[in-house]
Amino acid sequence: MANMLAGAVNPGLTAELAEFAAARAGFAATRPVARTVAVLGLTPGEGRSSVAALLALSVAGWSDRRVAVLDTVAVPTGPHPAVAGMPGVRDVAGRTVTALLGGDVGQGRLQGLVDPSAGSTVVARNRLRAALTPGAAVPVLSLPPGGPGFPPQFVEQALARLRQRADLVVIDTPVGPSAPVLHGVLQHADHFLLVVRGDGDTDRRLQAVAHWLGNAPGRARTRPATAVIVSRGLTKPSWTFPSLPVVVIPRDEGLRRRRPERLGRPAAVAGLRLATEIAARGSTGDAPADPPTGSASAVDPSIFGPR
């Protein structure tokens, strides 16, 4: 009722609500097939982590599909922030997907999940829950700061365990084409998001990242990809790049300030449209996943809870 009254005063709100409802319905109509999505970018500041966080929040918050995030970005050891787990917004650690989702970047616990001494890839839910990064709005798995980087073998080991519990696994990757972990990511992801900024020469950036992916070794060249343009201002991005479908994501102030509970409706609409594009462009031969059980709430990582 409140939304209807507000819409009578502000017709723009009615259109915005209708747009959100349509985006949510569009994603709900897609086939629930499990996906592992890698978010890639060639240069710093393109918006990879923002796109990864937005995709995870949109699916977890407005559908019944189970979501998990794998943060493969190594966080350097730096000065201890005034508030534990909340480094400055401009710090490297403060721009990771873990931080954007409200997680404590100093409490990565992924090793407990990929410990080879555990043997079988079939793991109990309490072990999965113990491996989660505390505080994140969506279940996140990450390493503690100060390590040498994310070992490529951890990607395969983590995904083998996450795929038992999640309908969507979002992998945030380090910047640049030469990070060792990308070898594992390119081999095991089902869909690639190629992220570029919406200012300047957008076409050149799209061509560069598409060329890099097209020349990557192995399985990467046979997987579907979507270009994601992150709009950072009032000017609508323009492009003529014909080779890939393109989704435009607006910059969201709530997400930038690591307040996922304040995610704006335009960003949520864009996130749901991106999720719909990913679900609709599955590779040939995909089989439907088991129907989701339980809810992947954006505030309660229940996919890892007792059943």
- Nearby residues of 172 by Cβ (< 8 Å), 6 or more positions away: 39, 48, 49, 52, 69, 70, 71, 72, 73, 96, 97
- Give the pLDDT confidence score for residue 218 in this predicted structure: 65
**Rounded to whole angstroms, how far apart are CA atoms 70 and 110?**
9
pLDDT at 93: 66
Domain that holds residue 86: 34-283
Beta-sheet pairing, 246-250 with 168-172: unpaired
Residue 107 has a pLDDT of 87
Within a domain: 129: yes
**Adjacent-strand bridge partners of 247:** 228
Please check whether residue 299 lies inside any domain of the structure: no
How many Å apart are CA 78 and CA 153, to the nearest integer? Answer: 26
Rounded to the nearest 5°, which phi and psi values hold at 215?
-100, 5
Site of tokens 């954007």: 100
- Asked whether residue 131 is assigned to any structural domain, the reply reads yes
pLDDT on residue 65: 94
Which pair of tokens denotes residue 121? Answer: 């890839």
Distances from the Cα of 123 to the Cαs of 45, 158, 163, 184, 290, in angstroms? 36, 11, 11, 21, 18
Residue 11 lies in a domain: no
How many other CB atoms sit within 10 Å of the CB of residue 201?
12
Position 27 in a domain = no
The verdict on residue 25 lying in a domain is: no
Measured CA to CA, the distance from residue 30 to residue 279 in angstroms comes to 6
Buried b (16+ CB within 10 A) or exposed e, 95-126: bbbbbbbbbbbbbbbbeebbeeeeeeeebeee
- With respect to residue 111, please indicate whether it lies within any of the assigned structural domains: yes
Residue 264 lies inside a defined structural domain of this protein: yes
Q: Which CATH number is 174's domain given?
A: 3.40.50.300
Domain count, the chain: 1
What does each of the 307 residues of the chain score in pLDDT, given as a tens digit? 444 434 444 555 678 889 999 999 999 999 988 899 999 998 888 999 999 999 999 999 999 999 999 999 887 765 544 444 455 545 666 788 999 999 988 888 888 887 665 555 566 778 888 889 999 999 999 988 877 778 888 888 888 888 778 999 999 999 877 788 888 898 889 999 999 988 878 888 888 988 888 887 766 667 899 999 998 765 667 778 777 899 999 989 888 888 898 999 999 999 999 999 999 986 444 443 333 333 333 333 344 443 3
Q: What is the pLDDT of residue 11?
A: 54
